[in-house]
Structure 1
Amino acid sequence: MKTTGAGRSLAWLLVTWGLTRLLLLLFVLKVYVFPGPDVTSDVSVIYHGWYDVLRTGTFPRNDVTWQYPPAAALAILSPALLPFLDYATAFYVLALLADLVVLALLLSAGRRPDRTLRGAWVWVAGVPLLGPTVYARYDVMVTAVAVAALLAGARSPRAMGALAAFGALLKVWPALLLLAARRRGSWLAAVVTAVAVAAGFAVVMPGAFAFLTFQRDRGTEVESLGALVFHVARHHGWDGEVLLNYGSVEFLGPYVSVVSTAALFLTGAAFGWLLLWRMLATRFEAHTVADAAFVAVLMFTTTSRVISPQYMVWLVGLAAVCLGFRSSRMRLPVGLVLAAAFVTVLEFPIWFAHVVASDPLGITLLVVRNGLLMAATVAAARELWRATVPREAPAPLPPQTTRTSETPVSS
């Protein structure tokens, strides 16, 4: 009976994945038009433009919208693997394959004795909640590398370190996967991989690290937590503006630098909390590495001055790995992240015009989405702390002395 039930669950999971992914492909291929602005222009215009530059053997050093580590070039160039398709179509197919790789990894891990298929269901259900944006950005490819790194951690720490380092050179955040790594092999493999890959790009392709100088003049992206200040302030005389800046729609004007600095302060505070946790944590279980990575990426996403919709793909992938463990304590935070994913597709792309206009609907969507992310962050951090940091043992009571009745000694 259990085997039959598991077979049916797997069948339903695969059917659901196939139908939802077919729908996503139909949207990015524009067989059906998804409401809101066209999310595919990043691939057909921006990525394709970078592709033409990267093919010449150099990075787009004069394009301030290129803000990615050097290995991101591999994702942008990947459609060359399918020369019989046009660039955009090839990219969407490869994004679909990355999605399938994540599912295959979660299914393989879910069959182990201490695991469950809940993680695969989180991935299957969570990705379509974000709409076609998932296949119109290369973040799903990065997430596949991150999921592979976490799942490799238990059996091969060195493979985990190498994959995390490679992921960090794709889009920085996978470096956080090493937060709870306890074996030196993971860190050694990460350092060797990072140095080797970075040096290779620096030697072969000029401008590999130009992206480091393209972040200084950024504003506050309109979907971020800090942006809520300006969405409200616009109704009370704030005279700033909303512009497409550095590849995203941002607030520019008075006090924006103050809010951006505050976001950096919050990120620093989050990093401090994570360091404190790492020093005090003593109880590590099989799922602790995944839980810690989930908490860390939640913290850095929520406090960032930019919360692009594709960032949610990272959280869904890490949430899926967490719930793949039967003993994971992250059920509530994962549920909150999935709810935030659904609200995200409402604010972008469906009603993004309302967000840009800072009207009541746009502000409400951001308050709800960012509120869900904040709640998920706090809940996940609390669960991680409770599960790994021992409470202080109560001070031992002083030894009790038993009184004996004194009898006079006769001489």
Structure 2
Amino acid sequence: MTRRRPALAALAALAERRLVLWAAFALLHLWLGLVNLTSPSLPLGDVSWVYRGWIERAVYSDYWVGIHAEWVYPILALLPMLAAAVAGFEYYSSTWLTLVLALNAGAFALLTGVGRTGRNQGAAWWWLAFLALLGPIAIGRLDAVTVPLALVAVLWLRRRPAVAGVLLAVAAWMKVWPAALVLAAVVALRDRARVLVAAGVTSLLVLLIAQLYGSGLHVFSFLTTQADRGMQIEAPVATPWLWHALATGGTRIYYDTRILTFQVDGPGVGLAASLVTPALALAVLAVLWLGWRAFRAGAAGEELFPVLALALVVSLVAVNKVGSPQFVAWLAVPVLAGTLARARPFRVPAALTLMLAGLTQIVYPHLYGALLALHPLMLVALTMRNLLYFVLLAWAVRELWRLGARGAQEGSVLAGPSRNSEPALTLEP
């Protein structure tokens, strides 16, 4: 035991060195990029075929999704897809991976504290472990662009709330989920006005520019397109039908060529799919009420914000008829926010989220064919993953209730003056 302690101390000291952190960051992204480009399971297929196809059609035929036609994504999703074509369509996939690498590097630099002592190495190592467990999908979808933008916004919430609001709005106009972070900030933080105004003005500018380019109502088509889609096989709500398909064959899996996802069809699926969206709205409203209750009870903003953000983000994933594997990437932002706040240990959600990431990589991409074939072990892995979403949601809801029941006696660094010596959720150089 006595011999282990110096060895563990040496390992801890090594892990705290910034050079080691950055070496791990570079090696991890090199590995993730290599798997994306070479794996026979084609984890980068959406980027290489779907995103590239949209942009090729826009460039060569002047036909823009979201402007000339309905689109599944908000309009600013075109920006990273266009950026990936800057070196030519021949290098579209590798340019996409380079873009994500650059964005993650910027967020990682802020997370580790440029020009500071490395007091957040634990959070940085957690993020690297999370990316490794989630696998190639962590950088192979549009969500990989929004996550670092949202993380930077959260790190700047205290000192640069207006900039944070702009970043969150831009990210939300690429993929909707960062809007949950805006809602959490509006409820939990006393400086909510600057965040909300910045996000609102940014959204108005996006809508104005889209209308100038002739988008019309197509700019809102991502809302109706999502509402009309069927039930994706990976979604938690679809899990009983997958087991029904295995047991009786009464449910079938089919490929939706419009949405480009595998979905389920069977008895009661249509009714369940129609109920999920209002159920999601009710879940979000309930979580917001719990957050507002905690705020009114005096809960500290640095403790309330990450818990509320986590509850909202998990709700968007758990109570949803879409269950894309990249959705797990969203969870990194509120977990990192809670880890950095240090108001209360965030070990439980951090551990659960790592488990969610690992189970997701089992399901996708390498063994996805086995899931489509309804292999029992794959159904077990997917079921465990989907149940963990609700375990994580239950933890966050319980914490919100606890905060509302007792309040918080100390002032919040994010909400105003505090007795803490260091600012929370900000690692500016």
TM-score by length of structure 2 reads 0.82
Moved over 6 A (4+): 62-65
Matches within 5 A, 1:2-401: 5=13, 8-30=16-38, 33=39, 37-55=41-59, 58-60=63-65, 66-83=71-88, 86-108=91-113, 111=116, 116-178=120-182, 179-181=184-186, 182=190, 183-206=192-215, 207-237=218-248, 239-245=250-256, 246-281=259-294, 282-390=298-406
Q: Name the amino acid aligned to 1:261.
A: S
> CA contact under 8 A between 1:110 and 1:120: conserved in structure 2?
no
8 Å contact kept, 2:231–2:321: yes
Q: Which amino acid aligns with 2:374?
A: S
Amino acid at match of 2:81: I
How many residues align structurally?
386
SS at match of 1:215: helix
Contact 2:299–2:403 (8 Å) recurs in 1 = yes
Q: Distance in 2 between matches of 1:110 and 1:153?
A: 20
More displaced 10-residue stretch of structure 1: 359-368 or 279-288: 279-288
Query: Could you say what secondary structure the match of 1:96 adopts?
Result: helix
Contact 1:224-1:305 at 8 Å conserved across structures: yes
> RMSD value over aligned CA atoms?
2.8
Contact in 2 for aligned 1:223/1:308 (Cα 8 Å): yes
- Give the CA deviation at 1:260: 1.5
SS of the residue corresponding to residue 255 of structure 2 reads: strand
Structure 1: how far apart are the matches of 2:89 and 2:254?
38
Identity within the alignment, %: 28
Shift of residue 112, structure 1, vs aligned partner: 7.8
| Cα separation, partners in 2 of 1:324 and 1:54, compared to 1, 3 Å | farther
> Hey, what's the Cα distance between the residues in 2 that align with 1:251 and 1:110?
51
| Paired residue secondary structure (1:310) | helix
Q: Alignment partner of 1:249: what SS? A: strand
Q: Are 1:164 and 1:177, in contact at CA under 8 Å, matched by a contact in 2?
A: yes
Gaps of at least 5 residues in structure 1 are 392-411
Once the 2 structures are TM-superposed, how far is the Cα of residue 351 of structure 1 from its aligned partner? Answer: 1.8
Alignment-mate amino acid for residue 167 of structure 1: A
1:335–1:109 distance in 2 versus 1, CA, 3 Å: farther
Unaligned runs of 5+ in 2: 1-8, 408-429
Contact 1:330–1:380 (CA under 8 A) maintained in structure 2: no
Please identify the structure whose Cα radius of gyration is greater.
Answer: 1
In the TM superposition, what is the alpha-carbon distance from 1:43 to its structure 2 partner?
1.2
Q: Structure 1 residue 220: deviation in Å? A: 0.9
Query: What is the Cα deviation at residue 236 of structure 1?
Result: 4.4
